[in-house]
Amino acid sequence: MANLINLQGNQACAMGAIAAGCRFYAGYPITPSSEIAETMARELPKVGGVFIQMEDEIASMGAVVGASMGGAKAMTATSGPGFSLKQENLGYACASEIPCVIINVMRGGPSTGMPTRPAQGDIMQARWGTHGDHPIIVLTPASVAECYTETIRAFELTERLRVPVIVLVDEVIGHLVETVDLEALAPKETIERRFATGPADGFEPYAVTDDMVPPFPRPGDGYRSHTTGLTHLPSGFPTQNPEKASAALLRTTDKLDLHADLIEACEIIECDNADIIIATIGISARAAQQAVTDLRAKGIKAGLFRPKTLWPFPEKRLKEVAKNAKIILVPEMNQGQLILEIERLMARHMPVIGLNKINGEAITPAEITAKVSEVLA
């Protein structure tokens, strides 16, 4: 018997986190993500977890990384202005391979922008927000159910791979309430971080292992290791030796290539014989899904390519799916960010055309069908 409830996207993110085993949350109030903090404040203590509202966005990211360094599954949530502030300590987590989940509910920007209005303007910031080359995983739910399941997947990936995972939600999906069956979506088991075991003597916290994910030395387990944001050796201590620095940095990014199959996820609808492929994320993908149905009804062969894992971008999948297409359309609520990646991959094979909207309203199915008709004419 289905146990259907009406749940909000932001709340679903919080419930997903708890289902995945998240037991620490630090945050700072910001529209339109505050319901995540509010839900965590209410629900975390019930399962033995800790919620804290910190003095600012920077501190909340620091506290999350600190809790995770202590061994806890930890998360924070924010929106544009706060996401900018979190980049510093997010970079630390990338450099020192500390698992953590950051939910960014995108609102209109830049700066204070339009706090209650949706946008998809942080696609590039999510990838390149912190300084320096760094590994990062970005997931993009497009429904309330996916807010739940993708937050769970975010924890699975971050704990398994020791790479920070960003869940990039737009305001529409974050505030959308949909009918879901959480019991049906709940994980059968949770993925746990691999903690270091065995002798402490000679233990190297960043040793090169087969899977390139070094076991995590939990404080109290006897390893007494050192963690730093300085570029470090397998021993954990800093180095400026050119060869060793290069090898250490490459391992953290090569790790993502090695585990590409685990990380990659996309939704592909009606792309097999499609002449035009619509590639997009979040609420824009929901509009595109409707548009595909409407266009097919009119005899236009359209398909949808939706990266659920936005970064690393599922480039092989897009190339496969689009190999017989004639045009790619990229609707997005910004001035053209996702399109840059798709142009990089596909522009030499076919025209890649953008549909952009930055007025604080979602792209509609009608706008997509109109654009397709215009492009095909």
Task: Mention every residue, 6+ apart, whose C-beta is less than 8 A from residue 128.
Answer: none
Q: Report how many residues bind another protein under the rule CB under 8 A.
A: 70
Give whichever of 208 and 230 is closer to another protein, judged by the CB atom.
230
Closest Cα to residue 127, out of 213, 267, 256?
256
The pair of structure tokens assigned to 172 is: 């529409």
Nearest to 16 by CA among 188, 185, 191: 185
Cβ atoms within 10 Å of 291's Cβ, excluding its own: 26
- Interface pattern 188-207 for another protein (x via CB under 8 A): --------------------
Considering the complex, state which of residue 152 and residue 362 has its C-beta at the smaller distance from another protein.
362
CB neighbour list of residue 46: distance below 8 Å, 6 or more residues apart: none
| Residue at token pair 């706008």 | 367
Nearer to another protein, 90 or 353 (CB): 90
- Residue from 20, 287, 302, 310 binding another protein (CB under 8 A): 287
Q: What are phi and psi of 247, to 5 degrees?
A: -65, -40
Contact criterion met (CB below 8 Å) for 30 and 79: yes
Q: Within 26-45, which residues bind another protein (CB under 8 A)?
A: 26, 31, 45
Pick from 247, 65, 94: nearest CA to 163: 94
CB of 330 to another protein, least distance (A): 18
Beta carbon nearer to another protein, 83 or 223: 223
CB closer to another protein, 68 vs 309: 68
What string marks each residue from 115 to 134 as x (binds another protein by CB under 8 A) or -? Answer: xx------------------
| Adjacent-strand bridge partners of 291 | none
Of the ranges 170-178, 187-195, 241-249, 351-359, which one interacts with another protein (CB under 8 A)?
Answer: 170-178
CA distances from 56 to 45, 79, 133 (A): 22, 13, 26
Contact pattern from residue 290 through residue 329 relative to another protein, giving x for each residue in contact according to CB under 8 A and a dash for the rest: x--x------------------------------------
Tokens, residue 267? 């939704």
Q: With binding defined as CB under 8 A, does residue 23 bind another protein?
A: yes
- Contacts with another protein, residue ranges (CB under 8 A): 4-6, 23-24, 26, 31, 45-50, 52, 54-56, 58-72, 74, 88-89, 92, 115-116, 143, 145, 172, 175-179, 219-230, 237-238, 283, 286-287, 289-290, 293, 362, 364-366
